[in-house]
Structure 1
Amino acid sequence: MILNRYERMIAKRYLLPGKGEGEKFIFLVSTISLGAVALGVAALIIVMSVMNGFRAELFEKTAGLNGHAIIVGYDGRLENWREIADQARKVPGVTSALPLVEQPLMASSNGRVEGVYFRGTRVEDIRSNAVLTGGVKSGSMANLTEGCNCVAIGTGLARALGTYPGGEISLISPEGRSTAIGTVPRIVSYTVAATFEIGVYDLDNAYVLAPMGEAQNFLMLGDAVGMVEVKVQEPDKIDEQMPALERIAAARGQATDWRKMNSAIFEALEVERVAMFVVLSLIILVAVFNILSSLIMLVRAKTRDIAILRTMGASRKGMMKVFVTVGTTIGTLGLLLGLALGAIFLFFRQPIVDAIQWLTGQNLWDPSVRFLSELPSKTDPVEVAVIVIIAFVLSFLSTLYPAWKAASTDPVQVLRYE
């Protein structure tokens, strides 16, 4: 929308505070409208970025340990896992197929007992896993070698058991040796070689990691494994690989993808994400009504000025452009301010959360409830563009009625009573 010189001058005058009390009040209302748009845009960007970050972080951590799909034997054993892994690697889109052993057990140390997930994987796979190697807090994953009689444990589990690298941990399996009086649980002590933190509360408080040979010996699996973990190039398109993986698993086990393994939490996140977008969009809508009300008051206050301009030759179209420009400018300035506020908050999100926790004395981000140890964030440019477009379009639409009223002003009727 192109304005000529006098239209720009008038729009500029109406945007700035006048000398009268009424004009100052209208300017105050316009400023509040600008701030409301900014808060609405910032809130939408912050919440959507945090929700996206939560999903991405949770997916990255869980997929880093569990893969995008798994092939599990019907009885919890895969004897011919090498053949299965080789066939899985040949499926288009599959990047890796790794053998795993995983079993829920009990662990004890220093008189304390905790439930754990005991996982065995090949030494080379441990060292190539960025989630594990990047989360080492003490000790070293290099100490995990076949025959070392050692394990790595999560930091939360280490605190719960009171043990650290160099200490001892005993694993207890109910599937032990048979005797005349029944089955005796199998108990084996291991040295803690390292502690790691994945960033997912449940995993950090339960995982015990061991070389494949150690796990197979403890669980008496021989050369068998529990499952084959599969990773693909595009996890969101895992449906393309699942039919082939199901054919490979046929008669020997079953194939499950990451969505079924974590269906409850990811579906809940998606529903909450959509609901939050709709609810927070109402903030922008409320702000737009503020712009509408401020423009209506401005039109009422400037009725005499509009009539004079009309008698001097100003067109209806020109008057519409002036008030559309005023309202759209308020909305655009609020939009830009909202983008800046959102970016600042997201950049300093963790210090802000820590400061609020310190001031209130409340734990706002309890990892045991929210799974992750820190507030995540991932901004989607497409979502930001949608938010910007929604805010701009609503701001523009809110200007049409006041602009039409201003353009419809009859100078004869107005000036007759002046």
Structure 2
Amino acid sequence: MARTPPPFAGFEWTIAWRYLRARRAEGGVSVMTWISLVGITLAVFALIATLSVRSGFRAEFVDTILGSNAHVTVYASQREDEFGRMVRTFPDFDERAARVAEVPGVTRVAPLVKGQVMGTANGRNAGVEVFGIAQDDLETIPRIADPDTAQGDIARFSEGVAIGSGVARELGLGVGDQIKLISPDGAKTPFGTSPRVKAYEVTYIFTAGRYDIDRTRAYMPFGEAQLYFNREGVADELEVMVDDPESVENVALPIQRAAGEGALIWTWQDSSGAFLRALEVEDNVMFVILSVLVLIATMNIVSGLIMLVKNKGRDIGILRTMGLTEGSVLRVFFICGAFTGVIGTVMGVVLGCLFAIYIDPIFSFVNYVAGGGVWDPAVRGIYSLPAKLQWADVASAMALSLGLSFVVTILPARRAARMNPVEALRYE
């Protein structure tokens, strides 16, 4: 009794390989194969490049938020002070900060004094948001206390102010220069409130990585900020950092309870959640659109296989009369189509990974060719186009491309398998 050969036997691979090496007389098949290969390669490359840029943009955006802003902000509800004025400050900020610091998951609590002023130097003006903070707390902010991107000595912070690189660029300042801060809420006089004007030495210039932060923010020693903004003995809010910012909602309520009566909270997800949700929707839409491009590219495999089946009709008839089963014929042409999909997917993955790894020199070249100004940080918020290669994104792109390549190959392969050998040889 003859033994049935196993699926995808050696002779099936041999026949498929001979068909893939098209002769000159079958140049059309070869052209369609190359079109399919290039199309799948470019589609997979575009998909991986888009996914990596998407992941990099979100990671950079979130990192700049978490690296330079509070994970949770505790602020006071409106109350009446001893002079009958409506204020929103914490007179007992030390006690509240101590209680919040005991909440599991909280890594740091820093009282802040905040105010908006006008900074002026060298005949230029710029709006500046001043954060009054203790030096020990400032040194724990990752994106601010980064010696690789900063200028000056953060240890001299108590001797002056720290300003963002955008503020320094706008006002033409360097470390050691003087910046004049003007606040409309100054000293109280019988004739009204006079603006407060005071000059400070710039002791530290930081780069947080976000244009809007570097362009508007400055830090002032906490005690000096209390005097400058008429906040003697009080703090405007508490800046809270947690060990797991992505799950900040789990500690938000315990923080509010620990902060005590009249305390309200605002998390980083509350302030940036709408943007992140919009980014997620855009990511999903882009994935669907690029998936359609992959599908269109794989459809070229169908055209190539249909032409191959038509040209090889005589061969199919001869192989069937020699005893080749329908399953073997199906697998032969399935290998022909799947081989194109596999090679195209591999090449697309390689190109996509190289793009994500070397995006900085690629972007620099594009910027040079375009004459500069391709990426405007004032619009995008961050200074460069980031890319983060995640193996989950690569795996999803490969699964999508290979899956579509295998599925669309089945129809023409099945057509070849069901071809009647008598009809195929009738006119031969």
| 1:2–1:250 CA distance, 2 compared to 1 (3 A) | farther
CA distance in 2, matches of 1:224, 1:2: 80
What is the CA-CA distance between 1:368 and the residue it aligns to? Answer: 0.6
Equivalent residue for 2:66? 63
SS in 2 for 1:229: strand
SS in 1 for 2:24: coil
CA distance in 2, matches of 1:234, 1:43: 33
- For residues 69-88 of structure 1, the aligned pairs below 5 Å read 69-74=72-77, 75-88=87-100
Equivalent residue for 1:294? 304
- For residues 90-101 of structure 1, the aligned pairs below 5 Å read 90-101=102-113
Equivalent residue for 1:195? 205
Equivalent residue for 1:144? 157
Residues 125-183 of structure 1: CA deviation (Å, up to 9, x unaligned): 222322112254422212112xx2x1111111111111111111011112111222211
Assess if the C-alpha contact under 8 Å between 1:152 and 1:208 holds in 2: yes
What is the CA-CA distance between 1:413 and the residue it aligns to? Answer: 1.1
Assess if the C-alpha contact under 8 Å between 2:112 and 2:131 holds in 1: yes
Normalising by structure 2, report the TM-score. Answer: 0.92
CA distance in 1, matches of 2:244, 2:310: 58
* One of 167, 175, 182 as aligned partner of 1:157: 167
Equivalent residue for 2:56? 53
Matched, 1:276 2:289: no
Assess if the C-alpha contact under 8 Å between 1:171 and 1:188 holds in 2: yes
Overall identity of the aligned pairs, in %: 37
The residue type equivalent to 1:266 in the other structure is L
CA distance in 2, matches of 1:195, 1:219: 22
What is the CA-CA distance between 1:245 and the residue it aligns to? Answer: 2.2
SS in 2 for 1:365: coil
- For residues 10-409 of structure 1, the aligned pairs below 5 Å read 10-20=15-25, 23-74=26-77, 75-134=87-146, 136-145=149-158, 148=159, 150-249=160-259, 251-361=261-371, 363-409=373-419
| 1:224–1:2 CA distance, 2 compared to 1 (3 A) | farther
CA distance in 2, matches of 1:83, 1:15: 78
What is the CA-CA distance between 1:5 and the residue it aligns to? Answer: 1.8
What is the CA-CA distance between 1:362 and the residue it aligns to? Answer: 5.0
Assess if the C-alpha contact under 8 Å between 1:79 and 1:223 holds in 2: yes
CA distance in 2, matches of 1:15, 1:242: 62
Aligned-CA RMSD value: 1.7
Residues 244-290 of structure 1: CA deviation (Å, up to 9, x unaligned): 22323453221111111123322222222112111111110111111
The residue type equivalent to 1:240 in the other structure is N
Assess if the C-alpha contact under 8 Å between 1:78 and 1:252 holds in 2: no
| 1:386–1:14 CA distance, 2 compared to 1 (3 A) | same
Residues 366-415 of structure 1: CA deviation (Å, up to 9, x unaligned): 11111001111122222221221111111110111011001001001111
CA distance in 1, matches of 2:55, 2:92: 39
Equivalent residue for 2:83? none
What is the CA-CA distance between 1:309 and the residue it aligns to? Answer: 0.7
Residues 59-118 of structure 1: CA deviation (Å, up to 9, x unaligned): 111212212211112244222222322332333332222222222221111221111110
Equivalent residue for 1:9? 14
Assess if the C-alpha contact under 8 Å between 1:69 and 1:229 holds in 2: yes
Assess if the C-alpha contact under 8 Å between 1:91 and 1:244 holds in 2: yes
Assess if the C-alpha contact under 8 Å between 1:101 and 1:225 holds in 2: yes
Residues 310-348 of structure 1: CA deviation (Å, up to 9, x unaligned): 111111001111111121111111111111101111122
The residue type equivalent to 2:73 in the other structure is I
CA distance in 1, matches of 2:208, 2:22: 55
CA distance in 2, matches of 1:272, 1:104: 34
SS in 1 for 2:185: strand
Q: List gaps (5 residues or longer) in structure 2.
A: 1-5, 78-86
What is the CA-CA distance between 1:2 and the residue it aligns to? Answer: 4.6
Normalising by structure 1, report the TM-score. Answer: 0.94
